Structure 1
Amino acid sequence: MKVAIAGAGAVGRSIARELIVNHHEVTLFERNVAHIDPDAVEHAVWVQADACELSNLERADLQTFDVMVAATGDDKANLVVSLLAKTEFAVNRVVARVNDPRNEWLFGEDWGVDVAVSTPRILASLVEEAVSVGDLVRLMTFRQGQANLVELTLPPNTPLAGKPVRRLTLPRDAALVTILRGGRVIVPQSDDPIEGGDELIFIAPAEAEPALREAMQIAH
């Protein structure tokens, strides 16, 4: 997979390293020449250019990339990069960093963003997830609310204990994708039983969350 990353600061470099370890091709765009350091991310292609400039993206043949990651520390720049990547080059997947949670509402389809990643929001969700038992916690939103990654930690005395996954009556468009049990990550199979204390990870649209609460027997 070919991935372009706008912004070679600490965040951009960290993303690049992880992607390269997983055998993806990575190109880093950085406008500040002082931040260009090929030794910091080996095997990446470094481009000294402003990714907000259409001509620079054209020279890099951005249309040949599978993913654009807008990872600068400036929300305005990330929105411009996202819009150009999606509308001018039809990049299939655009992921954008949200620096200020107050701007999160902008990071949607209108600006070409497929997935908006807000570090403050994620940290707050993880804190909430760590202390919440028996209620849904929204961890991440995809495509401006079309689908959410939500987590539910079952109480030890859940009436669902012992019930196999196939007998869970989930609302339409909601899917159980992972069960976290102790140190295990379980990809749920139809015969896998539910246990008290399980952390269940679902993908569901916002409108399905009330029905999901009811299906999992969560009190409102």
Structure 2
Amino acid sequence: MKVAIAGAGAVGRAIARELLQNEHDVTLIERDRTHIDVEAVSGATWLHADACELDDLERAELQTFDVMVAATGDDKANLVVSLLATTEFAVNRVVARVNDPRNEWLFNDDWGVDVAVSTPRMLASLVEEAVSVGDLVRLMTFRQGQANLVELTLPDDTPLAGKAVRRLQLPRDVALVAIIRGKRVIVPEPDDPLEGGDELVFIAPEEAERELHSAMKVPV
């Protein structure tokens, strides 16, 4: 997969290293020459350019990339990068970093964003996930806010213990994608039984979250 990353700060470099470990083709685009350090991410292609400038993105041949990651520390810049990547270069997937959670509402389809990643919100969600039992916790929003990755930890005394996955009465368009049980990550099969303490990970539209929460508290 060919990935362009706008912004070669600590976040952009960390993303690049992870992608390179998974054998992806990564290009880092950085407008501040003093931030360019080829040795810091030696497997990436470095480009001194402004990802908010159409001419520079044309020089980078952005239309040949599969994914654009807008990872600068400036929300305005990340929105502009996302919009250009989508409207001018038809990049298939645009992931944008949200620095200020108050701006999260802007990171949607109108600005060409497929997935918005808010580090403060994600950290808060992980804290909630660590201490919340029986409550639905939103971990991430996908695809212009039409679907969310949510988690629910079953109480030890859940009435669902021993019930098979196929017997869960999930709301429409909700999918159980993983069961985390201790150190195991289980891809659920219809006959797999649930246990108290299981962390259930779902993909669900926002309008179905309340119904999902209620369904997981009721025996089936």
Q: Report the TM-score range of the alignment, normalised by the length of the smaller protein.
A: over 0.9
Mind listing any 5+ residue stretches in structure 2 that lack a counterpart?
none
CA distance in 1, matches of 2:178, 2:206: 19
Helix, strand or coil at the partner of 1:52: coil
Structure 1 CA distance, aligned partners of 2:109 and 2:55?
Answer: 23
Residue number in structure 2 paired with 1:47:
47
**Paired residue total:** 218
Q: Aligned partner of 1:210: which letter?
A: R
Q: Which residue of 1 aligns with 2:72?
A: 72
**Same amino acid, percent of matched pairs:** 81
2:87 corresponds in structure 1 to 87
Q: What residue is the counterpart of 1:136 in the other structure?
A: 136
The residue that corresponds to 1:192 in the other structure is 192
Distance 1:9 1:102 in 2: 22
The equivalent residue for 2:212 is 212
Over residues 90-109 of structure 1, what are the superposed CA-to-partner deviations in whole Å (9 max), with x where a residue is unaligned? Answer: 10100000001111110000
Aligned-pair CA distance for 1:146: 0.4
The superposition leaves residues 167-197 of structure 1 with CA deviations (integer Å, 9 ceiling, x where unpaired) of 1111111000010101111111111110000
TM superposition outliers: structure 1 runs of 4+ over 2 Å: none
**Cα separation, 2, equivalents of 1:214 and 1:73:** 39
Alignment correspondent of 1:21:
21
> 1:142, CA displacement in angstroms?
1.4
| Distance of 1:34 and 1:117 partners within structure 2 | 26
SS in 1 for 2:128: helix
Superposed displacement of residue 141, structure 1: 1.0
| Distance across 2 between alignment mates of 1:72 and 1:26 | 16
Partner of 2:145, secondary structure, is coil
Shift of 1:214: 2.1
1:172 alignment counterpart = 172
Q: Deviations over 1:43-99 (max 9, x none)?
A: 100000000000111111111100000000000000000000000001010000000
TM-score, normalised to structure 1's length? 0.97
Q: Match of 2:42, as an amino acid?
A: E
Distance 1:57 1:201 in 2: 37
- Which residue number in structure 1 is paired with residue 8 of structure 2? 8
For 1:156, the equivalent position in structure 2 comes to 156
Return the alpha-carbon distance in structure 2 between the equivalents of residues 174 and 145 of structure 1. Answer: 14
Q: Could you tell me how far apart the structure 1 residues matched to 2:59 and 2:69 are?
A: 18
Structure 2 length-normalised TM? 0.97
Deviation at 1:145, TM superposition (A): 2.2
> Counterparts of 1:213 and 1:121 in 2: how far apart (Å)?
20
Question: What is the CA–CA distance in structure 2 between the aligned matches of 1:73 and 1:45, rounded to whole Å?
Answer: 21
Tell me the residue number matched to 1:101. Answer: 101
**Cα RMSD (Å) of the superposition?**
0.8
Q: Distance in 1 between matches of 2:157 and 2:179?
A: 17
